[in-house]
Structure 1
């Protein structure tokens, strides 16, 4: 009578390990999906005017009454002596829009290219005030999007390409020119790509879809600065800690930087702390710089340009640190002494 077959110990030992791996993968994927939902849903749910700077003008008693009425969590109201001062403040980006009150007349001044959602909310507010006086509000859009793209669809669509324009080249260059020996080649490639891609992206948006106006080369340099900030940082992260560095950078830029960038709405459409963080990260800073150069002749470009320059410096610091650490960073290079066989 033959003995019964028993399963091999190795196969039996492998089953719990596979189960644990499957559970870990499923939990990780669930956490990732939840993180993505939180990253993109929370800014949308909490969107709206948050301390949005606006101006009012008109008869002092009427305007100051409106100023006290509106000042709060939604609007940050400033009184101006006349309409010229109000419109000048809008063009200089001191405020996002304003309302001029007069007897039986309400004029709303907006800058749609600066804050599309804010301009819409301010127009709604102006219409409400006008209805209280049994009249209609007159809307003046001082800085609008180009006629060929009146809703700014091209600007909004540039969000993800601007991020991928820094992330993908860094990943490819790190793979094609790996290790310590290829570090400086990767940096040179990132700089050259940023200049070429910045010129190409700006040309497409300005001359292809006609979504941008302003000085072409100024706008192109701003886009190039964004791509350099991202690619330098990604290359530095990869040089220091390998592939996980690229993953960390991608998560931060995609799941935090992109939803908080305010590119399609304007930064004041997010809660204050979120908006501040978003403007410090490359996606938000690049969006603000693009908006300033493309529609406001560079007005308001200093702060986002400084933020992106800081990221470039941070990326260079990461790469400098990796360069000082030498071949141990990538673990792929070997010194000549290591490469030669030992004589017997």
Structure 2
């Protein structure tokens, strides 16, 4: 009988530590640190910076408001209270300061529906200015948030819920069917499925905040379709990132939509209260664009909706196009990191 030879050693156990697994663990660790840095960096010291304010006052007094220490306000001189109110409702200003030229009492206009912390910051600045000039100050909230919408936070949480659904759907598709469609037809099928899910997701969110909880009542249809656009765009972009980067694309999506998007969205603290980096990116990420869109729909008669809707549509279009392009690429060995 011929001697038996030991079988050639095969690959290690599937659960063993591989270079790909180590790379993913390091990636997760870096995303975690980025999460901590982004949230704490943006929220640890909210400070008013350049809040747009419409001021009806003598030019000398308006110039003094524009040159306060730390530059908390960005002043635009207007003719009267009516103009100041219009600028706030049209989203061209966040507040208004009305100085009586004859009396000793001034009026500060705020809109807490745009964010409670920002309205509070404006009130503190206004009270300090009035005290320094030995004047009295009355604060008028011309657009308050709803009774069931504390500090106007519902818009932000609604957007976060929709976003989570979008990128979790895309992640699930990647795990079950592969991170990249094998051909364009399958990419189109994924987009079609995503669109159906997005419509149902938008509907579910609108039902929860309107007839169920009455947090944002009276705008059911507009919120439904806004949510559908947001979910579709988030999912499409995550699918596109997966098509080009494999499982790493899921981490990149979390980095964009959560690590960078949430702190800069204007939810807990509005953009004029956070550092310049987050203030610069917030309006261009779906989280911030969506939060602004919800507030403008519900509280500001749909004013200033153009830019947020274009941003959301742009992400949806970019994700769809890139996913289809990704499905055209030849499958190269070694592009997907093993787990």
Deviation at 1:207, TM superposition (A): 2.6
Question: Are 1:286 and 2:290 an aligned pair?
Answer: yes
- Whether contact under 8 Å (2:195, 2:232) holds in the other structure is yes
- Whether contact under 8 Å (2:211, 2:217) holds in the other structure is no
Report the counterpart of residue 38 of structure 1 in structure 2.
37
- Whether contact under 8 Å (1:261, 1:287) holds in the other structure is yes
Report the counterpart of residue 53 of structure 2 in structure 1.
54
In structure 2, the CA distance between the partners of 1:29 and 1:199, relative to structure 1 (3 Å rule), is closer
| In structure 2, C-alpha distance between the alignment counterparts of 1:25 and 1:325, rounded to whole Å | 23
Report the counterpart of residue 127 of structure 1 in structure 2.
127
- Whether contact under 8 Å (1:229, 1:311) holds in the other structure is yes
In structure 2, the CA distance between the partners of 1:62 and 1:312, relative to structure 1 (3 Å rule), is same
Deviation at 1:224, TM superposition (A): 1.6
Deviation at 1:303, TM superposition (A): 0.7
Deviation at 1:68, TM superposition (A): 4.2
Report the counterpart of residue 140 of structure 1 in structure 2.
140
Deviation at 1:69, TM superposition (A): 3.7
Deviation at 1:246, TM superposition (A): 1.6
Extract unaligned runs of 5+ from structure 1.
Answer: 1-9, 11-16, 332-344
| In structure 2, C-alpha distance between the alignment counterparts of 1:62 and 1:41, rounded to whole Å | 39
Whose RCO is larger (CA < 8 A, sep 6+)? 2
- Whether contact under 8 Å (1:177, 1:186) holds in the other structure is no
| In structure 2, C-alpha distance between the alignment counterparts of 1:49 and 1:230, rounded to whole Å | 31
| In structure 2, C-alpha distance between the alignment counterparts of 1:260 and 1:61, rounded to whole Å | 34
| In structure 1, C-alpha distance between the alignment counterparts of 2:66 and 2:42, rounded to whole Å | 28
TM-score, scaled to structure 1: 0.81
Deviation at 1:45, TM superposition (A): 2.8
- Size of the aligned set, in residue pairs, is 314
| In structure 1, C-alpha distance between the alignment counterparts of 2:218 and 2:71, rounded to whole Å | 34
Deviation at 1:271, TM superposition (A): 2.9
Counterpart of 2:97 (choices 96, 99, 104) is 99
Counterpart of 2:211 (choices 199, 204, 207) is 207
Map of 1:158-173 to 2, 5 A cutoff? 158-173=158-173
Deviation at 1:305, TM superposition (A): 0.9
Larger radius of gyration: 1
What RMSD over aligned residues (CA atoms) do the two structures have, in Å? Answer: 3.0
Task: Name the one with the larger helix percent.
Answer: 1
SS of the residue 1:70 aligns to: coil
SS of the residue 1:304 aligns to: helix
- Whether contact under 8 Å (1:241, 1:329) holds in the other structure is no
